[in-house]
Structure 1
Amino acid sequence: MIACAVALFALTLLGPLVTSLVDDWSRRDVELRATLVFNSVSGPLSAMLENGQTDHINELFERVATDSRIVAVAVCRDGKEPAHATKLMPSSISCEKIARSDTESFSSVIVNGRRMLIGAYPIVSRTDPSREIEGHFIIVHDLSFAEHRGQEARNYLTLMLGGIILASGALAIGLVLYLIRNWLRTFKQAVTSATSPGVRNAAASYGPLDKEVRQVLRQLEMSQSAIDRDQANWSKETLRDIMLAELPGVEVLVVANREPYIHNHGPGGIELQTPASGLVSAVEPVMRACGGTWIAHGSGTADRETVDANDRIGVPPRSPEYTLRRIWISEEEQDGYYYGLANEGLWPLCHIAFTRPVFRESDWRTYRAVNERFADAVAAEAKTSSPIVLIQDYHFALLPQMVRERIPDATIITFWHIPWPNAETFGIFPWKEEIIHGLLGSSIIGFHTQFHCNNFLETVDRFVESRIDREQESVTLKGHETFIRPYPISIDWPPAALANQKSIQDCRDAVRKRLDLPPETKIAVGIERFDYTKGVLDRIRAVDTLLETHPEWRGRFVLVQAAAPTRSKLQTYKGLQDEAMALAEEINAKYADVSPQPIRLIIRHHEPSEVFELFRAADVCIVSSLHDGMNLVAKEFIAARDDERGVLMLSHFAGASRELAEALIINPYDAHATGEVLHSALVMPETEQHERMRLMRAYVSTRNVYRWAGQMLLDASRLRKKQRILEIAALDTDRAG
Structure 2
Amino acid sequence: MPAGEHEFVVVANRLPVDITVAEDGSLDWERSPGGLVTALAPIMQKNDGAWVGWSGKVDLEHEPFDAEGMRLWPVTLSGDEVARYYEGFSNATLWPLYHDVIVPPEFHRTWWNTYASVNRRFAAAAAEAVAPGGTVWVHDYQLQLVPSVLRLLRPDVKIGFFNHIPFPPLEIFTQLPWRQQVVEGLLGADLVGFQRPGDAANFLRAVRRLTDLQVRGPQVTIPGRWSRPDRTVRAQAFPISIDAESFDQLARTPEVVERAKRIRAELGNPDVLLLGVDRLDYTKGIRHRLKAFGELLEDGQLRIPEACMVQVASPSRERVDQYRQLRDEVEVTVGRINGDYGTLGRAAVHYLHHSYPVEEMAALYVAADIMLVTSLRDGMNLVAKEYVAARSDLGGVLVLSEFTGAADELTHALTVNPHDIDGTKATIMRAVGMEKKEARRRMRGLRRRVLEHDVQRWADDFLGYLAMSVPTPPEMGTVAAQPTTPEQSTEAASGTDGRTATRTRKQEAP
- TM-score band by shorter chain is 0.7 to 0.9
- For 2:111, which of 345, 356, 363 is the aligned residue? 363
Q: Which residue of 1 aligns with 2:129?
A: 381
Q: Which residue of 2 aligns with 1:474?
A: 220
> Per the alignment, do residues 266 and 599 of structure 1 end up closer, same or farther by CA in structure 2, a change over 3 Å counting?
farther
Q: Which amino acid aligns with 2:319?
A: K
In the TM superposition, residue 425 of structure 1 has moved relative to its aligned partner by 0.8
Q: Secondary structure at the match of 2:168?
A: coil
Counterpart check, 1:656 vs 2:385: no
Partner deviation per Cα, 1:171-205 (whole Å, 9 max, x = no partner)? xxxxxxxxxxxxxxxxxxxxxxxxxxxxxxxxxxx
Q: Which amino acid aligns with 1:511?
A: I
Q: Distance in 2 between matches of 1:660 and 1:509?
A: 27
Partner deviation per Cα, 1:447-493 (whole Å, 9 max, x = no partner)? 111111111111111112211112x5334356442111111111113
Q: Which amino acid aligns with 2:14?
A: R
Q: Which residue of 2 aligns with 1:555?
A: 305
Partner deviation per Cα, 1:343-392 (whole Å, 9 max, x = no partner)? 1111100101421000100000100110011111101212x211111100
Q: Distance in 1 between matches of 2:372 and 2:463?
A: 33
Q: Which residue of 1 aligns with 2:235?
A: 484
Q: Secondary structure at the match of 1:495?
A: helix
In the TM superposition, residue 322 of structure 1 has moved relative to its aligned partner by 2.2
Q: Secondary structure at the match of 1:511?
A: helix
Q: Distance in 2 between matches of 1:275 and 1:537?
A: 29
Q: Which has the higher contact order (CA 8 A, sep 6+)?
A: 2
Partner deviation per Cα, 1:259-281 (whole Å, 9 max, x = no partner)? 322134699x98866657xxx42
The residue correspondences of 1:486-635 to structure 2 (distance < 5 A) are: 486-495=237-246, 498-499=249-250, 501-502=253-254, 505-513=257-265, 516-593=266-343, 596-635=346-385
Q: Distance in 2 between matches of 1:626 and 1:402?
A: 34
Counterpart check, 1:396 vs 2:139: no
> Per the alignment, do residues 601 and 704 of structure 1 end up closer, same or farther by CA in structure 2, a change over 3 Å counting?
same
User: Is the contact made by 2:311 and 2:350 (CA closer than 8 Å) also made in structure 1?
Assistant: yes
In the TM superposition, residue 521 of structure 1 has moved relative to its aligned partner by 4.2
User: Is the contact made by 2:244 and 2:386 (CA closer than 8 Å) also made in structure 1?
Assistant: no
Q: Distance in 2 between matches of 1:433 and 1:411?
A: 23
The residue correspondences of 1:241-256 to structure 2 (distance < 5 A) are: 251-256=7-12
Q: Distance in 1 between matches of 2:282 and 2:15?
A: 23
Q: Distance in 1 between matches of 2:286 and 2:407?
A: 18
Q: Secondary structure at the match of 2:132?
A: coil
> Per the alignment, do residues 300 and 335 of structure 1 end up closer, same or farther by CA in structure 2, a change over 3 Å counting?
closer
Q: Which amino acid aligns with 1:288?
A: P
TM-score, normalised to structure 2, is 0.84
Q: Secondary structure at the match of 1:558?
A: strand
Q: Which amino acid aligns with 2:208?
A: D
Q: Distance in 2 between matches of 1:615 and 1:641?
A: 7
User: Is the contact made by 2:397 and 2:431 (CA closer than 8 Å) also made in structure 1?
Assistant: yes
Counterpart check, 1:344 vs 2:92: yes
The residue correspondences of 1:398-437 to structure 2 (distance < 5 A) are: 398-437=145-184
In the TM superposition, residue 700 of structure 1 has moved relative to its aligned partner by 1.1
Q: Secondary structure at the match of 1:645?
A: coil
User: Is the contact made by 1:560 and 1:599 (CA closer than 8 Å) also made in structure 2?
Assistant: yes
User: Is the contact made by 1:504 and 1:617 (CA closer than 8 Å) also made in structure 2?
Assistant: no
- Report sequence identity in percent: 32
User: Is the contact made by 2:40 and 2:459 (CA closer than 8 Å) also made in structure 1?
Assistant: yes
User: Is the contact made by 1:527 and 1:561 (CA closer than 8 Å) also made in structure 2?
Assistant: yes
> Per the alignment, do residues 489 and 349 of structure 1 end up closer, same or farther by CA in structure 2, a change over 3 Å counting?
same
In the TM superposition, residue 640 of structure 1 has moved relative to its aligned partner by 0.9
* Runs of 5+ consecutive residues of structure 1 not aligned to the other structure: 1-248, 316-320, 725-737
Counterpart check, 1:286 vs 2:32: no
Q: Which residue of 2 aligns with 1:445?
A: 192
Q: Distance in 2 between matches of 1:509 and 1:684?
A: 22
User: Is the contact made by 1:546 and 1:678 (CA closer than 8 Å) also made in structure 2?
Assistant: no
Q: Secondary structure at the match of 2:469?
A: helix
Q: Secondary structure at the match of 2:411?
A: coil
Q: Secondary structure at the match of 2:14?
A: coil
In the TM superposition, residue 252 of structure 1 has moved relative to its aligned partner by 1.1
Q: Distance in 2 between matches of 1:664 and 1:274?
A: 35
Q: Secondary structure at the match of 1:413?
A: strand
TM-score, normalised to structure 1, is 0.59
Q: Distance in 2 between matches of 1:273 and 1:591?
A: 43
Q: Which residue of 1 aligns with 2:102?
A: 354
Q: Distance in 2 between matches of 1:581 and 1:570?
A: 17
Q: Secondary structure at the match of 1:668?
A: coil
Q: Which amino acid aligns with 1:488?
A: P
Q: Secondary structure at the match of 1:256?
A: strand
Q: Distance in 2 between matches of 1:435 and 1:716?
A: 21
> Per the alignment, do residues 526 and 329 of structure 1 end up closer, same or farther by CA in structure 2, a change over 3 Å counting?
same
Partner deviation per Cα, 1:104-148 (whole Å, 9 max, x = no partner)? xxxxxxxxxxxxxxxxxxxxxxxxxxxxxxxxxxxxxxxxxxxxx
In the TM superposition, residue 626 of structure 1 has moved relative to its aligned partner by 0.2
Q: Secondary structure at the match of 2:245?
A: coil
Q: Which residue of 2 aligns with 1:32?
A: none
Q: Which has the larger radius of gyration?
A: 1
User: Is the contact made by 1:468 and 1:476 (CA closer than 8 Å) also made in structure 2?
Assistant: no
Partner deviation per Cα, 1:216-273 (whole Å, 9 max, x = no partner)? xxxxxxxxxxxxxxxxxxxxxxxxxxxxxxxxx9811111112322134699x98866
Q: Distance in 2 between matches of 1:684 and 1:271?
A: 50
Counterpart check, 1:322 vs 2:70: yes
Q: Which amino acid aligns with 1:499?
A: L
Q: Distance in 2 between matches of 1:636 and 1:453?
A: 25
Q: Distance in 1 between matches of 2:461 and 2:115?
A: 30
* Runs of 5+ consecutive residues of structure 2 not aligned to the other structure: 225-229, 474-510
In the TM superposition, residue 685 of structure 1 has moved relative to its aligned partner by 2.0
